[in-house]
A = this chain, B = another copy of it.
Amino acid sequence: MSSEELAAAAGVNSAKLRKDFSYLGSYGTRGVGYDVEYLVYQISRELGLTQDWPVVIVGIGNLGHALANYGGFASRGFRVAALLDADPAVVGSSAAGLPVRHMDELEEIVETQAVSIGVITTPPGAAQQVCDRLVEAGVTSILNFAPTVLTVPDGVDVRKVDLSIELQILAFHEQRKAGEEPDRGDSVLDRAPGPVRAAAAKLRRAAGAATAAKAEPAGKGGKPPKGTDGELSAVMPA
Residues of chain A having any CB pair with chain B under 8 Å: 19-20, 22-27, 38, 42, 45-49, 51, 53, 55, 61-63, 65-67, 69-73, 76-78, 116-117, 119, 124, 140-143, 147, 153-157, 159, 161-164, 166-175, 177, 205-211, 219, 221-225, 228, 230-236
Contact = CB atoms under 8 A, between A and B. Distances in A.
A61 B66 contact: yes
A137 to B, nearest CB: 14
Given A155-B208, A174-B140, A208-B154, A22 B62 contact: no
Given A42-B222, A72-B147, A164-B72, A228 B170 contact: no
Contact of A71 (B45, B147, B166, B173): B147
21 contacts: A19-B234, A23-B225, A23-B232, A24-B224, A25-B223, A25-B224, A25-B230, A26-B222, A27-B221, A46-B230, A53-B174, A62-B63, A70-B163, A76-B167, A140-B174, A143-B166, A153-B208, A155-B207, A156-B208, A157-B174, A159-B170
A27 B222 contact: yes
Q: How many copies does the complex hold?
A: 2
Nearest to A138: B211
A221 B164 CA distance: 43
A47 B222 contact: no
Contacts of A231: 23
A66 B57 CA distance: 15
The 6 closest A-B pairs by CB, nearest first: A155-B208, A154-B208, A25-B222, A62-B66, A63-B66, A48-B175
B46 A232 contact: yes
A171 B62 contact: no
Contacts of A77: 171
Contacts of A172: 47-48
